[in-house]
A and B are shown apart, each in its own frame.
Chain A
Amino acid sequence: MKSCLIVDDSKVVRMVARKILEALNFRIEEAENGQDALRACLQEMPDAILLDWNMPVMTGIEFLQELRRTAGGEAPVVVFCTTENDMRHIQEAIGAGANEYIMKPFDSEIIESKFAQAGLL
């Protein structure tokens, strides 16, 4: 069973994403900002990370840059999932090492399709 860390400051989004990903057979961990997520990754690197952009304490892009600099941090497949839906943000995310990018709002089909493309299914 693959693991996925869901990073989003919205409890509702985390809950919806958890339901979708559990149905796709992922073991779920949650974090509500980048710093929590980093702490979780240092304990155990997940196979996948579903990552919001705008969060208090540490944003998604700051977390990703930090993660990719960390030992073992190149391994997790990172899928951004954010309301930032312009080309500049998408390119910045890819430049920082994101593997896929979901523009909110999302549904189960989009998550499934993106996770499949990222080789997670």
Chain B
Amino acid sequence: MNVNDFDLICRILKDRSGLTLSKDKAYLLESRLLPVARRWKLTSFDELARLVRGQPDETLLCAITEAMTTNESFFFRDAKPFEQFQSLVLPRLLEARAHKRTIRIWSAACSTGQEPYSLAMILDAEANKLAGWRVEILATDLSNEIIDRAREGTYSQFEVQRGLPISMLVKYFQQVGDRWQINAKIRDMVTFRSFNLLNDLTPLGSFDVVFCRNVLIYFDQQTKSTVLARIAKQMPNDGFLYLGGAETVLGVSDRFQVVDGQRGIYGLVPPGAMPNPMIVAAV
């Protein structure tokens, strides 16, 4: 792969999705884009680059972006964030929103749906506490194709065995051929739509909980800061932001700080206050 081709594709990815690829990711670019090249009846990455340089159609540019931004996902990924959601975040919101009886949750890069469905299963398990409440889960991803798959909620045998306890498979899934579909009750708890994180978030409304895990790592510093600042604007002062295990707000945003020493969960820095350096440093 020549440097110009690499730069060309990187520029497209950056513009369309915010994804930043370092030079050492050339292998990733090539391995993920070869299947796209084949779909366009091309035999190599070089030919694909030539087509992009010439007269690319929108579907090709979309396919390239989708191939590079689709990431694997598991049910209850990393386990702990979901335990915290059930034991800390939800009880606090039940108290804080007792008068409004409304909770809005956003899964900001939901991929094939495992994250929002994991949350929906937890909410179902807590249904007795939520009687009379309106809990909304909005799940978004850049890719239309991925959103369609997420909405269908059908997974391979391999996918339902990573992170999902067997008791939950039995309770919430049905077997369709050699695949497993999450049942309609859980599917109906989640609203899916495609959305680019680089867009204005205002139309999405305000969220009490935002899951934005393992997506900022693909952005450069400036883009990370911008996205976090926009999320901050869509959150009430007592809202919760989840980032991935390897992510931090340190040096990227001074609007968020770790909640109660709970790794991975962030709250807004109160208006007028400085972020607590002790808390931030604990990340």
Q: Which A residues have a C-beta under 8 Å from some C-beta of B?
A: 85-87, 90-91, 94, 98, 100-103, 106, 109-110, 113-114, 116-117
Known: A86-B175, A94-B170, A102-B161. 5 other contacts (CB 8 A): A85-B157, A87-B170, A110-B158, A113-B162, A113-B163
A110 and B174 form a contact (CB under 8 A)? no
B157 and A103 form a contact (CB under 8 A)? yes
| Residues of the B chain whose Cβ atoms lie less than 8 Å from the Cβ of A109 | 162
Nearest Cβ on chain A to B59's Cβ, whole angstroms: 34
B162 and A87 form a contact (CB under 8 A)? no
Q: With contacts defined as CB atoms under 8 Å apart, how many contacts are there between chain A and chain B in the complex?
A: 33
| Residues of the B chain whose Cβ atoms lie less than 8 Å from the Cβ of A117 | 165
| Residues of the A chain whose Cβ atoms lie less than 8 Å from the Cβ of B158 | 110
A113 CA to B163 CA in the complex, in Å?
Answer: 6
Q: Name the prevailing secondary structure of the A interface residues.
A: helix
A34 CA to B21 CA in the complex, in Å?
Answer: 53
| Residues of the A chain whose Cβ atoms lie less than 8 Å from the Cβ of B175 | 86-87
| 7 pairs of A and B residues whose beta carbons are closest in the complex | A101-B166, A110-B161, A117-B165, A87-B175, A100-B166, A103-B157, A113-B162
Q: What are 30 of the A-B contact pairs (CB < 8 Å)?
A: A85-B157, A86-B175, A87-B170, A87-B174, A87-B175, A90-B166, A90-B169, A90-B170, A91-B170, A94-B166, A94-B167, A94-B170, A100-B165, A100-B166, A101-B166, A101-B169, A102-B161, A103-B157, A103-B161, A106-B161, A110-B158, A110-B161, A110-B162, A113-B161, A113-B162, A113-B163, A114-B161, A114-B166, A116-B79, A117-B165
Complex: chain A residue closest to B75, CB-CB? A113
Q: Which B residues have a C-beta under 8 Å from some C-beta of A?
A: 79, 157-158, 161-163, 165-167, 169-170, 174-175, 178
Nearest Cβ on chain A to B55's Cβ, whole angstroms: 43
| Residues of the B chain whose Cβ atoms lie less than 8 Å from the Cβ of A90 | 166, 169-170
A52 CA to B162 CA in the complex, in Å?
Answer: 19
Complex: chain B residue closest to A104, CB-CB? B157
| Residues of the A chain whose Cβ atoms lie less than 8 Å from the Cβ of B174 | 87
A75 CA to B174 CA in the complex, in Å?
Answer: 30
| Residues of the A chain whose Cβ atoms lie less than 8 Å from the Cβ of B162 | 109-110, 113
| Residues of the B chain whose Cβ atoms lie less than 8 Å from the Cβ of A94 | 166-167, 170
| Residues of the B chain whose Cβ atoms lie less than 8 Å from the Cβ of A86 | 175
Complex: chain A residue closest to B173, CB-CB? A87
Nearest Cβ on chain A to B116's Cβ, whole angstroms: 20
| Residues of the A chain whose Cβ atoms lie less than 8 Å from the Cβ of B165 | 100, 117
A41 CA to B178 CA in the complex, in Å?
Answer: 35
Complex: chain A residue closest to B161, CB-CB? A110
A103 CA to B156 CA in the complex, in Å?
Answer: 11
